Amino acid sequence: MIATLEDAWRWYRSVHAMSRILGRLGERHWPELDWDGRLGQDAVLVELSRDQIIEDAAVIQADLDDLCVLLLFSVFEALVRERVLRDFDAEAKSATHAAVQRAMRSIRESIENGSFFQVLDLYKDADADLIEQVNQVRRYRNWVAHGRRAEKPAAVQPPVAYRRLAAFLELIDRLAEDSRSAKPPAAFS
Arithmetic mean of pLDDT over the chain:
93
Which pLDDT band holds residue 126 (cuts at 50, 70, 90)? very high
% residues pLDDT > 90 (the chain)? 83
Residue 173 clears pLDDT 60, i.e. is over it = yes
What is this structure's pTM?
0.88
Q: Give the mean pLDDT of 130-153.
A: 96
% residues pLDDT > 70 (the chain)? 96
Q: Give the mean pLDDT of 108-115.
A: 95
Q: What is the DSSP string of the chain?
A: ---SHHHHHHHHHHHHHHHHHHHHIIIIIGGGS-TTTTGGG-TTGGG--HHHHHHHHHHHHHHHHHHHHHHHHHHHHHHHHHHHHHHHHHHHTT--SHHHHHHHHHHHHHHHHS-HHHHHHTTTTT-HHHHHHHHHHHHHHHHHHTTT-S-------HHHHHHHHHHHHHHHHHHHHHHHHSPPPGGG-
* Per-residue pLDDT, 189: 45
* Per-residue pLDDT, 185: 55
Q: Give the mean pLDDT of 27-46.
A: 91
